[in-house]
Amino acid sequence: MRIKDHPILTFDKRKEVHFTFENQPLIGYQGDTIASALVDHGVTTFGYSIHKNRNRGFYCAIGNCAACNMIVNNKANVRTCITPLEEGMNVKIQHNKGEIV
Amino acid sequence: MKHVEVVIVGGGPAGLSAAKQLVEANVEVMIIDRNPSLGGQLIKQTHKFFGSEKQHAKMRGFDIAKQLINQIQHASNCTILTNTTVVGLYPNGILTTYDNHTYQEIKAEKIILATGASEKSLAFENNDLPQIMGAGAIQTLMNVYGVIPGKEVVMIGSGNIGLIVSYQLLQANVKVKAIIEAAPKIGGYAVHASKLIRHGVEIFTSKTIKKAIGTTTLEAVEIVSLDENFNEVENSSEIIPCDTCCISVGLSPSHQLASLLNVKTKYIAALGGLVTIVNQRFQSSDPHLYVVGDALGIEEASSAMMEGACCGLFVAQDINKTHPNHQTLIFEYQQQLHQLRSGPYGNHTLEGLEIMKKEASNVR
């Protein structure tokens, strides 16, 4: 969910950015990272752990922890918390270490 | 291979302050940051700073970031690479960067690491469930992107970051169900804590999180009381339903890049963890490499800015491009640092720096 009223910050209306998450069309805004747009839509699972298949979510937001690594436009291990959202991006949950394409 | 006089890794308060002095000294500088924009953690800090005018007191973090960026971004001798991660560090001032599609090799006369710190994690059952997040992550999400992490948050840790982020959650209309502190007293400044208590937020001391509950995402946390030896008190368990849990249990210096270079490092608890050993000029055991800011010991952004400025001045001097006001500026910034560390929280840092000094004298 987006912040609407804030005592200090203002969030101007920004241009919509269309993308898909697991083939489902979603809308983010210019200035979003992939992860911020997903959290806005209530997405909590960004991936699964390699060995025990445990759900992985948004954790550090600064590209440190790798919990939000996803497949973006067929490229694996994209750190979605520091990758700007772009029009037409195809974002998918990653289930393994990722494959080189 | 590209050549630059000085590369600064990390465009936060320390890196930008170093850059300003170098730019003024006519040094050719390149700032590399993996984030989409410069400013480091300042860009998400909505609270006003304490301290003196030189330390940007009474300004909000994100305004300080704007000011620091403004001071350097139009300088012709300053190149800024954002969305770029330094992935390799080699002897003789060589580093490699990666920016989405390409690797690049850069040679610098001097490299300043201003990589900051990363948040510590906490060990408890199910601590990897989604919606358990770092305090910095929540700050970024709300204050940079305008997105809230959830509706009901339990905060673990009552240091200044835990308290400030709790207040910022309230400002974004998110309920803070409780702040949990393992120590017998609140860790951060009383001024932050009392503001929260006035808003009806409960702060529980001598308690900790034992377990996170949920299947695919967080649904509740189990909290237990601790005795004076930090052992669990029997039958003290309580369950707090929540959709988000924020972990704010301190920071540790980001030493990883320096560790690639085999420079001398040491675990100094008073500075927050493993740090590079540097001399009084911030120079490591590799003469090409300097380290500054939180990467050298956890303090506040104010100290990082003062240290950054000093480091920038020393580096300019070390490549024979001494800043025209070197003496005056060094004196001023060092005095500011001294002042910042003379408060009740500075003892720890001073203790750590004493150890650093001893170690550095053994380096060369």
Domain assignment present for residue A48? The answer is yes
pLDDT in tens, B42-83: 998 888 887 777 778 889 899 999 999 999 999 999 999 998
Tell me the pLDDT tens digit for each residue of B185-194.
Answer: 999 999 999 9
Q: Mean pLDDT over all residues of chain B?
A: 94
Q: In chain B, whose CA is at the least distance from the CA of A41?
A: B147
In a domain, A11, yes or no: no
Domain assignment present for A101? no
Contact between B243 and B220 (Cβ < 8 Å): no
Among the partner residues A6, A36, A54, nearest to B141 by beta-carbon distance: A36
> Which tokens sit at B346?
């500075």
- Measured between alpha carbons, how far is A27 from A34 in angstroms, rounded to an integer? 11
Compute mean pLDDT per 10 residues along chain A, 101 residues long, and list them: 88 92 97 96 95 94 91 94 95 89 72
Instruction: Decide if A42 is inside a domain.
Output: yes
pLDDT tens-digit map of B121-145: 999 999 999 999 999 999 999 999 9
Domains: count for chain A: 1
Q: Does A100 touch chain B (CB under 8 A)?
A: no
Distance from CA of B173 to the nearest CA of A (A): 8
Do B240 and B278 lie in one domain? The reply is no
Tokens for A87, please give them. 């029009």
- Which residue, B247, B268, B287, sits at the end of a domain? B247
The token pair at B120 is 């510590």
In a domain, residue A98? The reply is: no
Of B108-112, B255-259, B326-330, the one with minimum mean pLDDT is B255-259
Chain A residues whose beta carbon lies within 8 Å of the beta carbon of residue B134: 59-61, 65
pLDDT grade for B169, boundaries at 50, 70 and 90: very high
Decide if A5 is inside a domain.
no
Domain that holds residue A69: 16-92
Q: Please give the pLDDT value at position B20.
A: 97
Question: Around Cβ B127, how many Cβ atoms within 10 Å?
Answer: 15
With 0-12 / 13-18 / 19 or more C-beta atoms within 10 angstroms meaning exposed / middle / buried, residue B198 is: exposed
Instruction: Using CA coordinates, name the residue in chain B closest to A10.
Output: B146
Taking only Cα atoms into account, the Rg of chain A, rounded to an integer number of angstroms, comes to 14
Nearest by CB to A36, which of B118, B130, B147?
B147
Domain count within chain B = 2
Which domain does B225 fall in, by range? 121-247
Identify the pLDDT of residue A10.
84
* CATH number for position A29: 3.10.20.440
What local confidence, expressed as pLDDT, does residue A100 receive? 77
Q: How far is A51 from chain B (nearest CA, A)?
A: 13
Name the pLDDT band for B363 (thresholds 50, 70, 90).
low
Long-range own/partner contacts, residues B279-287 (CB < 8 A, 24 or more apart): B279/B360, B279/B363, B280/B357, B280/B360, B281/B311, B281/B314, B281/B318, B282/B112, B282/B307, B282/B310, B282/B311, B282/B314, B282/B315, B283/B314, B283/B318, B284/B258, B285/B363, B285/B364, B286/B91, B286/B261, B286/B262
Instruction: Note whether residue A59 is domain-resident.
Output: yes
Select from B247, B280, B310 the last residue of a domain. B247
Residue of B145, B169, B243 to mutate, testing the A interface (most A Cβ within 10 Å of its Cβ): B145
Kindly state whether B132 is in contact with chain A, defined as any CB-CB distance less than 8 angstroms. yes
* pLDDT, mean of residues B131-160: 96
Domain end residue (candidates: B247, B271, B300): B247
Q: Which residues of B touch A63 (CB under 8 A)?
A: 34-35, 85
Average pLDDT over residues B147-172: 96
In this predicted model, what pLDDT tens digit does every residue of B281-340 receive, in sequence order? 999 999 999 999 999 999 989 999 999 999 999 999 999 999 999 999 999 999 999 999
**Hey, are the CB atoms on A60 and B142 less than 8 Å from each other?**
no
Distance of residue B228 Cα from the nearest chain A Cα, in angstroms: 31
B130 with A39: Cβ contact below 8 A: no
Task: Look at residue A8 in the predicted model and tell me its pLDDT.
Answer: 85
Residue A4 lies in a domain: no
pLDDT band, residue B362 (cuts 50/70/90) = confident
Interface check for A91 against chain B (CB to CB < 8 A): the answer is no
If you average pLDDT over residues B2-27, what whole number do you get? 97
Half-sphere exposure of B179 (CA within 13 A, CB side): 32
CB contact under 8 A, B216 and A3: no
Tell me which amino acid residue B13 is.
P
**According to the model, what pLDDT value does residue A5 have?**
85
For residue B121, the model assigns a pLDDT of: 92
> Using CB atoms, which residue from B46, B130, B132 is nearest to A9?
B46
